[in-house]
Amino acid sequence: MATQTAATAVAPAPEAKGTSTRTIALAIVGLLILLAAPFVIYPVFVMKVLCFALFAAAFNLLLGYVGLLSFGHAAFFGGAAYICAYSIKAWNFPPEIAILAGTLFAAALGAVIGYLAIRRQGIYFAMITLALSQMFFFVCLQAPFTGGEDGIQGVPRGKLLGFIDLGDSLAMYYFVAAVFLFGFLAIWRIVNSPFGNILKAIRENEQRAISLGYRVDHYKLGAFVISAALTGLAGAVKAIVFQLASLTDVGWQMSGEVILMTLLGGIGTLVGPVAGAALVVSLENYLATSSFPVPVVIGTIFVACVLMFRRGIVGEINAFLDRKK
């Protein structure tokens, strides 16, 4: 009892103990799954899951931690995929430079779209991002370099850093896993940083953050660009994995899909978007071979989620564990 009160009075970090042991255990299990997965499950499938998981996690950085619902994230995902695929095919870029180019392009596009969208809030913000990303979709549809309806096909995977042949599916897998890990840890760091603290404050009470002298637009734009860049990273890597960049990746359905993944997994949780992406991608893969129409099943799950477990899978589990304490 005495130590308890001493701890609450002195300990610098709140809720330090219990969470961190759970987090470390989870991290180890996650890492083991990541390493062992290609030996158990078809590697291309896991890579697809990882790309979408990073996409959803980057999207959730904006929705879950700043409270901004973007309905245009496909522009960053698909745009980066196009740039990456094109620079490999046309200019013989090595994969790492092509991915970097795609990521930078997404960041730049994010700066433009974000700059225009953060001026408005709520549904208007979502509408502006949707409109601008649709404009980008039509650019991709019409511009000659994207290959129109065909997309850019048969993108060679090439050699990473000049000596790792990504044609080998295991090498490709571990590269994707490393990129995912990098992106995921970057998000984790940002969320739990001094900057992330201000983002949460803006999400919680924007007026109050302004009245404390924070130029909230700068913070929102910063978060938007980071989110767009990480989304682009996921899109660029996906283009190399599937050797393909197409209109599917820039369409509004893709923006909707990532919202669905994040919602199902749990908004504002770190692991939620990963779980959501895994669930949606698995369902799509599984149902693709059955006669069930995919949108109907996903739609049903979505409705059930919104009606019954609004916090999403991971959100509900967290809430359950908190109740038990």
Partner 1 sequence: MTQTAPAAAAPAAAATNIVLSATELTKEFKGFLAVNNVHLSIREGSIHALIGPNGAGKTTCFNLLTKFLQPTRGRIVFRGEDITRLKPAEIARRGIVRSFQISAVFPNLSVLDNVRIALQRPGRLATQFWRPDTALNVLNARAEELVEQVGLQAFIRHQAGELPYGRKRALELATTLALEPDVMLLDEPMAGMAHEDIGQIAALIRRAAVGRTVVMVEHNLHVVEDLCDQVTVLQRGEILAEGNYDSVSRDPRVREAYMGQEDD
Q: How far is CA 272 from the centre of its chain?
A: 11
* CB 209, min distance to partner 1, A: 8
Contact 136, 254 (CB under 8 A): no
x-or-dash string of contact with partner 1, 224-243, rule CB under 8 A: --x-----------------
CB closer to partner 1, 15 vs 149: 15
Binding residue for partner 1, selected from 29, 36, 41, 210, defined by CB under 8 A? 210
CB closer to partner 1, 4 vs 289: 4
CB closer to partner 1, 238 vs 311: 311
* CB 140, min distance to partner 1, A: 31
Distance in angstroms (rounded) separating the CA atoms of residues 280 and 264: 9
Total Cβ atoms within 10 A of residue 29: 10
Binding residue for partner 1, selected from 222, 243, 287, 317, defined by CB under 8 A? 222
CB closer to partner 1, 149 vs 322: 322
DSSP state of 247: G
Which residue is it, tokens 């879950």? 64
CB closer to partner 1, 45 vs 188: 188
Distance in angstroms (rounded) separating the CA atoms of residues 60 and 276: 11
Which stretch in 50-58, 81-89, 209-217, 239-247 sits in contact with partner 1 by CB under 8 A?
Answer: 209-217
Q: How far is CA 190 from the centre of its chain?
A: 14
Which stretch in 8-16, 156-164, 259-267, 317-325 sits in contact with partner 1 by CB under 8 A?
Answer: 8-16
Write the CB contacts of 131 (distance below 8 Å, at least 6 apart in sequence): 72
Query: Count residues contacting partner 1 (CB under 8 A)?
Result: 30
Q: Does 215 bind partner 1 (CB under 8 A)?
A: yes
CB closer to partner 1, 32 vs 212: 212
For the chain, the maximum distance between any two Cα atoms, rounded to a whole number of angstroms, is 72
Q: How far is CA 57 from the centre of its chain?
A: 3
Q: Does 154 bind partner 1 (CB under 8 A)?
A: no
| Stretch 169-208 residues interacting with partner 1 (CB under 8 A) | 189-190, 192-198, 200-201, 204-205, 207-208
* CB 119, min distance to partner 1, A: 13
Distance in angstroms (rounded) separating the CA atoms of residues 53 and 318: 19
Q: Does 213 bind partner 1 (CB under 8 A)?
A: yes
Exposed e or buried b for every residue in 268-293, given b needs 16+ CB within 10 A?
bbbbbbbbbbbbbbebbeebeeeeee
DSSP state of 154: -
Distance in angstroms (rounded) separating the CA atoms of residues 187 and 107: 15
Distance in angstroms (rounded) separating the CA atoms of residues 206 and 28: 37
| Stretch 9-28 residues interacting with partner 1 (CB under 8 A) | 12-15
* CB 111, min distance to partner 1, A: 16
Binding site for partner 1 (CB under 8 A): 8, 12-15, 189-190, 192-198, 200-201, 204-205, 207-216, 222, 226
